[in-house]
Amino acid sequence: MSDVLTRYAPEDFVFGDLIEKKAKSNKGKPFLEFDGLDLTYDQFNEMANRTANGFASQGVKRGDKVGLMLSNSPEFLYALFGLAKLGAVSVPINTAYKGDLLEHILKSSDSSALVVEEDWLERVALVEGKLPSLAKVFVRTPNGGPGVPNGLEKPTENFRSLLDSPAKKPDVNVHYSEIQALMYTSGTTGPSKGVQVTQFHGPNTAMGFIRYIELTTDDLIFSPMPLFHGIGLWQGVVGPLLVDGKVVISDRFSASGWWDSIKKHKATIGMSIFSAVPILLAKPPSPEDKNHTMRAFYLGPSKMDEALNERFGVRSVEIYGSTEVGICTGAPYGQIPPGSCGLPREDTYEVKIFDEFDREVSPGEPGEICVRPIVPFSVFTGYYNFAEATVAAWRNLWFHTGDQAYRDKDGYIYFIDRVKDSMRRRGENISSFEVERGINSHPAVLESAAVAVASEIGEDEVKIVVVLQDGAHLEPEELLDHAQERMAYFMVPRFVEFVPALPKTPTEKVEKYKLRLEGNHGITPNTWDRDEAGYKVKR
């Protein structure tokens, strides 16, 4: 693996050229599997070339923005790599978006074309009249059927027709510094913004993934992560591409079907999000828990690595990164202190912990993670059409991530919370992550989300929103009895609410802002208040 991390230069990191070279060196070698379809490196490259030439024949050219509102599928990747070969800009769109959100993405990105699933055409029809830049819609029909659905005012074309174009690589010379995509932020704390990522950005992020998970050509990745998200695309697809490996893509994460999928595909690496680990650990133990081929889980909280390894024989890999800067901290596989997200990736980034005035804080003191690149074009070049937000994020020439952390005396970084999700109660700073960790340890709890609600005397009160295991019953008092044994008294929630499910983005991030907006500033008729119930917390 070590030569993989040294044999690439920035000029090698051009999406279209990269798959072209890999197709020649890996002819006939399996690369991508989805829903029974197996594609070799050269077959995939041919389809990307056909798609590129098809787009070009329809007038798509260098610099044009093209929305990709597709479920996980080979066509998503054909389109993305095909557009990269033209120097056009992909705009992956969260597949849950509709109405104002969908309009916002397509309008703010200046998308001139859109590739969309036939099932979601009604969503497009409702907003197309507000999208003057949108000139063409390419429709992916079920099973690649030949029909072109009607119902839109904009001209439509069946995506399948693009694949009838020549398989020769387009004669376009694309540079690694050019914008490859606008990757929209998840919008958990405000309007989604288009992150301008270069051709270099995604593969460079994948190199961090390769380093920290020790990815080799012999690994097989199973990934249910959505391809419109950087983890699913850069780590899940570009990672194995760089090491001549293989990826199996699924359409969604399923806790009940996870281990069956791992066994079926003989996967060595499973990819999902942090919340998947506690959900898997919360399932009843089975004699089959270690009967599988998986060696590593990405991403998994390092605090749970020991439990994951003991139960399933699997190590978790935790890093710190974002859409804007890629992977900027990590540690060698299996060598990370519990609770840490690693050391700065010093070959590519400077990473500091700053106070509110951008002064570096001492070890153990919380502050905001701030990042700037050492290697040109390795981080985003700004938020497209959001100049004010770009300037604010790059205050004093450091990218301010909005994430709170501290570092220890050895330089390891420990994530605390989103700055906007942290809470302050009775003069004490509280991490929602730590509250959730204590609550989630109750055997009846599947998952939870801690949020701040207004206190009558200023600062915050803590509310915990809880999803129980199937068939489980739990009284709020029982939950707080459990919490008192596992967290500081000031962290024990005042408010408790049981819900059937937490609001989430399609990348499984909890939309805490929705919880804070429910009812009367986060308090609903179903919210239990320990003060009203006369419950006392012991100090």
Ordered by where they begin, the domains of the chain are 40-198 (3.40.50.980), 327-420 (2.30.38.10), 422-533 (3.30.300.30)
pLDDT score of 188: 46
Measured at the alpha carbon of residue 229, what is the angle toward residues 192 and 180, in degrees to the nearest 5? Answer: 85
pLDDT score of 424: 72
SS3 breakdown of the chain: % helix, strand, coil, rounded to 5?
A: 30, 25, 45
Helices (H), 475-523: 476-484, 512-517
**Cα separation, 315 vs 333, whole angstroms:** 8
pTM: 0.83
Per-residue pLDDT of the chain (539 residues; tens, 9 = 90+): 446 767 788 888 999 999 999 999 999 999 999 999 999 999 999 999 999 999 999 999 999 999 999 999 999 999 999 999 999 999 999 887 777 778 989 999 999 999 999 999 998 999 999 999 999 999 999 766 666 666 789 999 999 999 999 999 999 999 999 999 999 986 544 567 899 999 999 999 999 999 999 999 999 999 999 999 999 999 999 999 999 999 999 998 888 999 999 999 999 999 998 778 888 998 899 999 999 999 999 988 888 899 999 999 999 999 999 999 999 999 987 888 998 999 999 989 999 999 999 999 999 999 999 999 999 999 999 999 999 999 999 999 999 998 989 999 999 999 887 777 767 776 566 778 778 888 999 999 999 999 988 776 557 899 999 999 999 999 999 999 999 888 778 889 999 999 999 998 766 778 888 898 888 888 999 999 999 999 999 87
pLDDT score of 506: 61
Task: Mention every residue, 6+ apart, whose C-beta is less than 8 A from residue 14.
Answer: 84, 174, 175, 176, 199, 200
pLDDT score of 206: 96
pLDDT score of 82: 98
Among 221, 272, 323, which residue's Cα sits nearest to residue 507? Answer: 272
pLDDT score of 129: 94
pLDDT score of 507: 63
pLDDT score of 1: 46
Among 69, 76, 74, which residue's Cα sits nearest to residue 37? Answer: 74
186, 192 contact by CB (below 8 A)? yes
Among 24, 73, 83, which residue's Cα sits nearest to residue 48? Answer: 83
Beta bridge partners of 448: 466
395, 401 contact by CB (below 8 A)? no
The pair of structure tokens assigned to 51 is 């798609």
pLDDT score of 179: 98
Residue 136: other Cβ atoms inside 10 A: 18
pLDDT score of 142: 78
